[in-house]
Structure 1
């Protein structure tokens, strides 16, 4: 901290005491006074120091009924759940602290039981998505040297060889299993705050995903900071929306468990059914929710249409993963009560869930809502390219320090060394995000210093996609994000099939990382330094996505196909209004959030609910022709004669 000699020597030691607690470290503006400096200091008294390990065991022992996950009409108490039986299986599998059991994320209450079981035996929870191709799953398992995977009956066949699998569903449904675990022994697991509690994979620019290791202390202290802000508390009813590839699900599940809140678990793919989601939010009286802005926009579209106060029980609503626009903020305000706290949150996985926050409580005249300020017990620095503190209004890289900074990447000491820097004895994470700070101490996002992109809340290193493509028979490529929804791969070569490239990517990458379009060029444009000149890359024609991958256009043949075709054109915003009835939705530029919108259009246009026809078969058969067949199975007379079913809190 540079005080510019403006304070007497006797005050210097006092200022030094405050240095590490100041949320924003930058060159002090001459107009700042010592009184204002003191106002910026937050002394947070938390009870996290009472625990040397993740406090799940103690919470469950002292308050067995404190957290009640709910899956649709079914509730269960942790006090009577079969977590000890799963602990037996994990212990039988010889899991030590240095080894990592995985919970195979399936989006139901088994996930909560699985996480509790892993933590109770002193293991580390690492979520894997069933949407990942087999080759990628094996790569992730190999990277962590995992020996045991918790699975569901639908996913147990995905693993073989030396991997031990534990079927959670079989244990939960087997009443004959008697636990042999010593509860006192489980409560005394030798776990410290420095032990690894969770591992989250993020995209890696080298072509290999990075395994972010979060300690018990990181998670507990982050959650205590959120509790201090009243972002989440013990009385809240939370809803589990985030995908397991998004670290926000750690807060939705582990945060609720630690604080004693209630968790609402949606049915499978329930987060993609807007009407069902809105009904659950209302009837289960959900008071806390985190969602990406794109999903919130779609939800607001529905709420504006049905004119039902589905969000009036909401006490605290967090939006993050993407920049929140002032327009979206106003839409959210119009659908919640005046007392609802609306938060814009930000944070890479390496700093544990969230690291900055801003309470959206006024109308914004500018075009941007700030990232805000650091969470309590977090610190932020803004450095220029020379590693010096920036002045107010100057652009620089955001560095995040404090209780949330991760332990490091598994077996990637080189990347860990680049990502972490020690300043004044404290460790900071280099985010790579370019920001500025205003005179009020608020941080504003500007962009990236590299080519990392965010797509619907998911952080993507385009270098990982490029490495994947280079493993095929092409000689050069570059991947660019266009607009808000599309990744475009520019490929050098001739005689290359787009379908072959797409198939190659599907076998190695998760769905959200597969480019919407592949453009084959004879030569990639280069600048004077011999590097790809991204500014000279041709603008993609997204209307060409509407034809099938074989370039054969199959026109609608029936009235139902014509109606479905028109809805696809509206959702995908195709210029020529021509989409082949055999084209797959996700191969012509569609993504999960657009599919949510499409399904809602089906419900509105054809007057059915998710009980009549759920979103799952539409996802499994994602062409116009197949969707038309599904919609033709509906007995519209029955649909019109019955009211939409509701779920009541008493259930």
Structure 2
């Protein structure tokens, strides 16, 4: 590998992942992060579309990857690498691509964003200007996010560029707020970066257990923040600063900075502050003209953080990356407005794109995958609910003489889409409603149906009590004893909330792993009956964490 090339990076969390990432950059190539837990079809598309010269991976993963793979757990490969004589490294231009990261695409396929070394380097310079952050070699950063999510760029290089220490959080610990809280305390983490959805679950544990922490800065990103929900943390850890940062993959992780005040925590508004010093955020109307103060418009970002564009997508690049008065700008599709004090407020999306639990999702991509299933001819996907309770609803039109089962369709989607992109329900329609102009008439789509399945009548008192907890978390009708938590729209963050609700209602500390392995209501109720509350103890993660310094 060398300058101008791209190398796939498909490894589980560990030392090999970080060393391989550094090695790829030192060759002058760009790395293409691939989540090893993503469906095989998605992994294959990303590697083929990006045109990688090889992928760095492991033997178990490589069997499903296209092209050449360098397997770091292969003894022969290890021996060859040990025998390599280090040569002179190329001088990498600052405008050379550093990574090519894929985000959801409205056409049914992900799109790659090309981010340069200059884009990344200036981020950390700008973040410490104008009285923003004061990171140094004494900081300890938690590496919580997948390397295929650009929040991880901020976490990793934030630790290394300022000379701090990076603690790699095992995936099992990421799914267990209580275990993650223990890690933060034991490792003395000082800089914590979280999506709001993940943080709310952590906050619940931290406030309940009153664990002393060294965290001095919490940085929020990835989705809209509800500041009023942070009051319990502020009361428990008053010295920790809370910073809300608006950002987009196409503008290199973070765009703005806002240190949350006590007044902010009394308001539901998602204040995102001012642009970083080397960026500007324009609020424009549909004609591309500035809107008056206080009026909502599209957020358009200008400055050195704007990425090169979309990989091999010139038309889309020209549409979203625009030149105005000789300056490149990125049209985010996000909505916001300026306040009189010069700060910005985030007001959601201006198109169909949404963020759920920190993930940026194009419902159109999901609809395209759904419509491509053999038994279907057309499909649409909508977002139901709001905030943390938002979920995806699918509509499908069957092919002639086909009688698809909605749950089977959902299972088929699981092979090509990650779990966070799966619709909670799929409703079959004879045809999709259209407007007079031939476009999808979203307002005419039927409301999600109350699921009419034979889930069985509730029997025991435990089932009755547990069913009420499910109803509060998942919404809809009260479930039956054979109801499936994930088929009803549950996900990993809701499992965490369910475990906490069970602790309060039943006085039982149920292992999260058990809730994943026993997703039916009757199974969980039987588990709760079998657990004696006085002897119950929280699940202990069986993974250890590692820390890395440069």
Q: TM over 0.5: same fold?
A: yes
Match of 1:491 in 2: 396
Which digits, 9 at most, give the CA deviation of each residue in 1:395-425, with x for residues without a partner?
Answer: 2211111111111111111111111111222
Q: Aligned equivalents of 2:81 and 2:403: distance in 1?
A: 59
Structure 1 residues 203-282: aligned runs within 5 Å = 203-228=104-129, 229-230=132-133, 232-282=135-185
Match of 1:304 in 2: 207
Mark the CA change 1:172 to 1:230 in structure 2 (over 3 Å): closer, same or farther: farther
What's the offset of the Cα at 1:385? 1.5
Q: Aligned equivalents of 2:170 and 2:411: distance in 1?
A: 30
Match of 1:532 in 2: 440
Question: 2:35 matched to 1:129?
Answer: yes
What's the offset of the Cα at 1:490? 2.1
SS at match of 1:441: coil
Match of 1:553 in 2: 455
What's the offset of the Cα at 1:579? 4.5
Which digits, 9 at most, give the CA deviation of each residue in 1:624-645, with x for residues without a partner?
Answer: 4665787799798875799999
Match of 2:4 in 1: 98
Question: 2:242 matched to 1:342?
Answer: yes
Which digits, 9 at most, give the CA deviation of each residue in 1:280-313, with x for residues without a partner?
Answer: 111211111111111221222222322334xx31
Question: 2:360 matched to 1:459?
Answer: yes
Find the partner of 2:297 among 393, 396, 407.
396
Match of 1:168 in 2: 72
Question: 2:404 matched to 1:502?
Answer: no
Moved more, 108-117 or 629-638: 629-638
Q: Aligned equivalents of 2:462 and 2:97: distance in 1?
A: 54
Which digits, 9 at most, give the CA deviation of each residue in 1:213-272, with x for residues without a partner?
Answer: 110111111122223321644321111112334210111113322222211112232111
Q: Aligned equivalents of 1:644 and 1:159: distance in 2?
A: 30
Q: Aligned equivalents of 2:499 and 2:6: distance in 1?
A: 38
Compute the TM-score of the two structures, normalised by the length of structure 1: 0.75
- C-alpha contact 1:478 1:489 (8 A) present in aligned 2: yes
Q: Aligned equivalents of 2:169 and 2:539: distance in 1?
A: 24
- C-alpha contact 1:290 1:317 (8 A) present in aligned 2: yes
Q: Unaligned 5+ residue runs, structure 2?
A: none
Q: Aligned equivalents of 1:445 and 1:382: distance in 2?
A: 11
Match of 1:576 in 2: 478
Q: Aligned equivalents of 1:642 and 1:527: distance in 2?
A: 53
Compute the TM-score of the two structures, normalised by the length of structure 2: 0.87
What's the offset of the Cα at 1:174? 6.5
SS at match of 1:518: strand
- C-alpha contact 1:621 1:627 (8 A) present in aligned 2: yes
Find the partner of 1:113 among 19, 23, 28.
19
Mark the CA change 1:559 to 1:369 in structure 2 (over 3 Å): closer, same or farther: closer
Match of 1:477 in 2: 379
Q: Aligned equivalents of 2:63 and 2:535: distance in 1?
A: 39
Question: 2:199 matched to 1:293?
Answer: no
SS at match of 2:380: strand
Question: 2:262 matched to 1:362?
Answer: yes
- C-alpha contact 1:150 1:168 (8 A) present in aligned 2: yes
What's the offset of the Cα at 1:608? 5.4
Match of 2:230 in 1: 329
- C-alpha contact 2:151 2:253 (8 A) present in aligned 1: yes
SS at match of 1:372: strand
Match of 2:99 in 1: 198
Which digits, 9 at most, give the CA deviation of each residue in 1:107-141, with x for residues without a partner?
Answer: 33332222122222222122111222212211111
Moved more, 596-605 or 295-304: 596-605
Match of 1:148 in 2: 54
SS at match of 2:379: strand
Find the structure with the greater CA-based Rg. Answer: 1
Mark the CA change 1:637 to 1:139 in structure 2 (over 3 Å): closer, same or farther: same
What's the offset of the Cα at 1:496? 3.3
- C-alpha contact 1:273 1:599 (8 A) present in aligned 2: no
Q: Aligned equivalents of 1:620 and 1:325: distance in 2?
A: 32
What's the offset of the Cα at 1:459? 0.9
Match of 1:417 in 2: 318
Find the partner of 2:285 among 384, 399, 408.
384
Mark the CA change 1:644 to 1:617 in structure 2 (over 3 Å): closer, same or farther: closer
Which digits, 9 at most, give the CA deviation of each residue in 1:355-376, with x for residues without a partner?
Answer: 1121102313543031211112
Mark the CA change 1:532 to 1:640 in structure 2 (over 3 Å): closer, same or farther: closer
